[in-house]
Amino acid sequence: MASRQNKYPDTEIFKYHNQNPHNRITTDCVLRAVSFALGKPYNDIVMEVAEIQCKTGFDPLDRLDLVFKKYGIAKEPMLRHYDNTKYTLKEFIKEFPKGTYVINMPGHVTVVKDGKNYDIWDCTKSKCKIGNYYKIK
């Protein structure tokens, strides 16, 4: 059986990366993305998100803005083309080749850093449109 990394080989705009310290493939995309983008240990982010969730009752996937608020990072609006259609992740990378971004997609959160998507699957091949995003640096 092929490993997950073999299933999603690195490309010019994608790099396989699992920030989960146990290398688990699970529904922790918010934790992986925030941890990687901020350069903070995964378990520290787990504790921060749990604290926010206890205080507010919100799931971090629904309210990522609460996670970034303490870092002074604001939510950026959805990008739209001139014809009002939303960007795909591939289009976003082309438009913003430098910097670190955490990006909301339908049911998923991912990271783009200096023109590459870092994740456990190649989101750049998805036709899903991106939503709001956070410019980390």
CA–CA distance, 20 with 32 (Å, rounded to integer): 6
pLDDT at 1: 35
CA 85 vs. chain centroid, Å, equals 21
Domain ranges of the chain: 8-135
- Note down pLDDT in tens along the chain; length 137 residues: 358 778 888 899 999 999 999 999 988 999 999 999 999 999 999 999 999 989 988 887 678 888 898 899 999 999 999 999 999 999 999 999 999 999 999 989 999 999 999 999 999 998 999 999 999 98
pLDDT at 132: 93
Q: What is the pTM of this model?
A: 0.91
CA–CA distance, 60 with 53 (Å, rounded to integer): 7
